[in-house]
Structure 1
Amino acid sequence: MSDQPQPVPSETRRDRPREPMFNIPGVVLAMIALMGLIQVAMSHVFDADAQRWMIIEFAFIPARYAFDAVGGDGPWFWTPVSYSLLHGGWAHFGLNSFWLAAFGGLVARRIGVGRFVMFWVLAAIASAMLFLAMHWADSSVMVGASGVVSALMAAAARFAFSGGGFSRQHAHLSRRLSILEALTNRTVIAFLAVWFGINLLAAGGFSLGATDAAIAWEAHVGGFLFGFLTFSLFDPIRRR
């Protein structure tokens, strides 16, 4: 009998289930849908007064924190998270949703729904805190999931490239790299260089065309550092 591999019969190939082109976890789809509904309301339902109220109540505004926390109203407490669900327009929403589907899907499949939601909340807060530190008492208004998406990108960098390549179907099962291993992995280093390069351009005023508003690169960096440095706290898969 020959040891050469035999071709798979056409009937078998047809019967084999195909991997879906887009296999996005439900929690990621739910977040995209929630952000999309909010954007529909902001763009097509709310009048100017209602839009202004939404921004005041749910966007992150550093000036709000220049005063004593004692007696702070509701937005003082929830806007470090709620801002991540609002966007500056459809292009801003679309760009964040694309990267959320790509990298958020990897992380969600690995850590599960509960940890993913907790990661989102804490990543949003970390992003907002660095933005606050860089814009203390400023009246700038920050909205968008970019900081959280940056955190998810950084988290994915800790495991998605550990096998020396990238497999869309199985990347979420790859071994988690330690911080030192990640910083000496050439693929991860290239990924980090591109990401930080884009944000350095943003810091210098370069726009990617997603929105006419200024890019909150500080929030991106805050989220990225949070995801890269703390991912092991959320990862249920032990290092092998």
Structure 2
Amino acid sequence: MRILRGRSPTVRADREHTARLLAAAADGLPGVRVWAPPRQVAFGRRDAREPGYDRARRAAQTVGFTPFERDVGGRAVAYSGETLAFAVSIPLDGNRGSIDERHATVAGAVRSALEGTGGTVSHGEPPDAFCPGDHSLRVGGTSAGGKLAGIAQRVRADAALVAGCLVVSRSDAAASTTALEPVYDALGVPFEPESIGSVAEAGGPSDGRRVARAVENALVERSDGDPRRVERVGPEPW
């Protein structure tokens, strides 16, 4: 099991580390990465087809977020610099389960990690959430709980990458709201600013390092990832 820690200073260079994680999985080596990416708004392919896409990119830049188009579908996601990203690369050289099974495994691991740090978390998301999808996590214990994590999957013939974002602190949620409100407005996509939750709002810690390590351990354990090989690809922000 290959574990990557740290980040590069630019969005493009940072994303290359995750691309190499997927390439290694194609050669049979699974991997996990949990980190805080550089400040950015990651647009999906659907966003790039909207008439207001260029205006949305400018809106992100205006509030200090680098616009970047990722190579999967979905809608825009903001990474404030505190927001965590997680990725699990899985070789498809045998019975590694279906797409839904991989989604369920990763979502279950993340939820278990957050609950282990004191958070109350449920599956699902409120209406008009950022990057809406079927594999989200929200603040539990209330019907009004905001979305704190979204999960997507990229599948190739030889490997899969299950990845997502995780809003940690209240300041993280506020910064993401500041970025996404004008972005979604430009795209003409419904977005409710109050729909963004956080680990802290769920009763968990605001400490990014603590949350990252908890999620990393849970993902490795669910991936049967022993022995572990930790590689530093750059500094961590904590």
Query: TM-score, normalising length from structure 2?
Result: 0.30
Higher percent of residues as helix: 1
